[in-house]
Structures are given as structure tokens and as C-alpha cells.
Chain A
Amino acid sequence: MHTPTTTEPSWPDAIYAHFQRVGIRQVGYVPDAGHSRLIARCQADNSITDVVLTTEEEGVGLVAGAALGGQRAALLMQSSGVGNCINMFSLLRNCGFGCVVFVTMRGEFGEFNPWQVPMGTITEDVLRLAGFLTYRIDDADAIDDIVGAACDMAFDGNLQIAILLSQRLIGRKQWTK
């Protein structure tokens, strides 16, 4: 069980507040350390069904099914997971399913692991090519404003929106022996 601590950044709470505001009812995710606090908040919320996915593309189907049933869903993944979704994203664009995806970035600022770099450096381009509007956030002060606008655009306009949470915002992954 993840226990938020006082040293942890609190910006995930601002995302969670928008989940509550716009009535997100399903959250699909493949975990990332950068999403751990938000996942914990969703798991603790009885109004949200959290769905742990074996691969991120499953979440695209989940979003579509939820929307068919009248519920709003959000997806949480890391940048590597975006690559797993490309063909499945056609479902969202082809049918006009509103969707908001929160992508924690790897393979950029201060990345220790070079294996993360090839996907991390093309993540935003891939999302755009797949029909997403993308908003990149480097500064925690911008979270509330941008996430609020993104959620409204996604669900009022049936658009596909991705929020890229930069590695600088999340903080470098700490590698210990």
C-alpha cells in the first residue's frame, strides 16, 4: 500500500481534484512511479473503478467501453506505454471518444537509462500523429490550469488529449544499489 508522505510532490492531487470535478469514473493504468500518488488517490475513491492493465493499449478499449456505457475514463501511463497504444488509438479517433491520457515522461531530462530514450524522445510526436492534442507540463504551478482545460476539452468536445508530465516536473528517477 502506497502511503503519501510530506516530502512527495502534491501536484497529483490537483489532477485528482479535476477527476472529481468532471466525474471520472474509471481509471486505467500501467503503473509508473510518477503516477503512484494519483493511483493511490483513485484506489481510495469509491466512486472510481481503478483498472490495472497488462498493457496500455487495453486502456484505450476501456475508455471506449466506458464511454459507450455513459462513463468518463482517464488513462495513466509512462511514455514507453504510448508506443504500445498506437493502432488502438484509432478507435478513439475513428469514433470520436473523448479521452484524457496522463503520460509521465522518461528518456529526457537527466535520464539514467538509455533504453528509455528512443521512445521518450518521440512520445509527443507519436501522440500528435495519432490525433491527440498534447500539452506538456514542466512546472507544477501550471498543472491545475492545463489539466482543467484538457479535461473540459476532452469530455465536452469528444477530443483526445494527452498531458505530458515532464521528467523535470516528476524528478529524476533515483537509482540506488
Chain B
Amino acid sequence: MIDRRDFVKQLLVDRGDLLVVPGLGSATYDVAAAGDHPLNFYMWGAMGGAAMIGLGLALARPDRRIAVLTGDGDMLMGIGSLATIGVKQPRNLVIVVLDNAHYGETGMQPSATKSGIDLVAMALACRFKQARAVSRIEEAADVRRLLRIGDGPILISARIKEDEVPRVLPIRDGHVIKQRFIEALNST
């Protein structure tokens, strides 16, 4: 099992011009803990929406790489997005599900993946070019490489530890998060 903070930090080290969409809850805290960056579109709500924001961004900017980092709860709520993304086949989009098989924000109730519901199989069935699970921190370097040059759409299910880690809270004002993202994207 993978330490989520260590894993996300390794994915985002020397991130260059990578665009990052963290899903609400722990994924947003993990991305914030790895270091604040204007090209993070932190989410504090709109559960189920992270993957589709990634698709809209990937279609608008085929010249850039987009990483959606989200939890199993957000991915399950937007599970139809896998089909929508599979239809469009964005080559520049990678989804990393930080899968602890629980709803961490609300008291660690088990999610569907706890019962063996398989996000990797669903992504493959939705014509993702690549989908697989990782469960060792040593695989972070390979996932980091996929974020940068992998032929998308790709989904990685990272089996992370169930332990709760301290929250690292980034900015919450949606207008500010949006505006600084757009300005940073326009200037890089």
C-alpha cells in the first residue's frame, strides 16, 4: 500500500507545465501538500466533476498535458465520465485515482471499490488506452512518466493506505483559483 502524500509529491516533483485538476477532499489536500501551484485547479465541491473538467481542458489544450488526481468517491460519482472520455480519446489526459476504498472526508465509510468494484476494468471497457493499478511507492516514477508522455486516455488506480493524514488546505475562493490558473496557463 502506498503513502498518498509521498506518492502525489513524487508525481508532481519538477512538474513543469503540467495542468493538474485535483478532485475534492483528500486529493485536493494531497496536491496542496505537494506545493501550491497556480496550475492547480483545486476543487472543494462539485463532486463527480473532476474527470470532466479534465476532458474539457484536454480538448481545449491538446498541446498541454492534463493530470486529474482524485479519490475513488469522486471517480465513482462521475463514473459515466469514463465512457464520455473514451469516446473522445484525449491523448493528453491521465486520471490518477487515489483509491483508499473509503469516503475519507466523512468518517471512512467504505466505497464501492472496497467490495472489489474495479475502476481499472471499467476504464479499459471504456476504451482507455491504458489502465492499471499500482500498489507500491516504487511505481510512482513510472506513473510520473505516464503523466508526462503516456498516450492517453490513461487511468491509474493507486492503492493507497487507509490512514488519515493531516489536512493541508489550499485557497478556497473559486474565482481566484480559476483566474490564477487561466493567467498562469496563458503565460506558459
Contact = CB atoms under 8 A, between A and B. Distances in A.
B165 interface: no
A95 B84 CA distance: 24
Contacts of B19: 68
A7 B121 CA distance: 46
Which of B41, B48, B53, B78 has the most C-beta atoms of chain A within 10 angstroms of its own C-beta?
B53
B59 A66 contact: yes
Interface stretch (B4-12, B103-111, B144-152, B172-180): B172-180
B94 to A, nearest CB: 14
A70 B60 contact: yes
A57 B178 contact: no
Interface stretch (A9-17, A83-91, A108-116, A169-177): A83-91
A53 B83 CA distance: 8
A25 B47 CA distance: 25
A58 B175 contact: no
B65 to A, nearest CB: 12
A62 B21 CA distance: 13
Contact of B56 (A65, A88, A90, A95): A65
Contacts of A57: 48-49
Contact of B80 (A54, A63, A91): A54
B182 A61 contact: no
Interface residues of B, number: 36
A156 B185 CA distance: 20
A15 to B, nearest CB: 21
A53 B84 contact: yes
Given A57-B48, A70-B182, 9 more contacts: A26-B59, A61-B55, A65-B53, A65-B59, A66-B60, A67-B182, A69-B59, A87-B45, A94-B175
Interface of B: 19, 21, 41, 45-61, 64, 78, 80-81, 83-84, 87-88, 174-175, 177-178, 181-182, 185-186
30 contacts: A26-B59, A52-B87, A53-B80, A53-B84, A54-B80, A54-B83, A55-B80, A57-B48, A58-B52, A60-B49, A60-B52, A61-B51, A61-B55, A61-B56, A62-B56, A64-B53, A64-B56, A66-B56, A67-B56, A68-B178, A68-B182, A70-B61, A70-B182, A71-B56, A71-B59, A73-B56, A87-B46, A94-B45, A94-B174, A96-B174
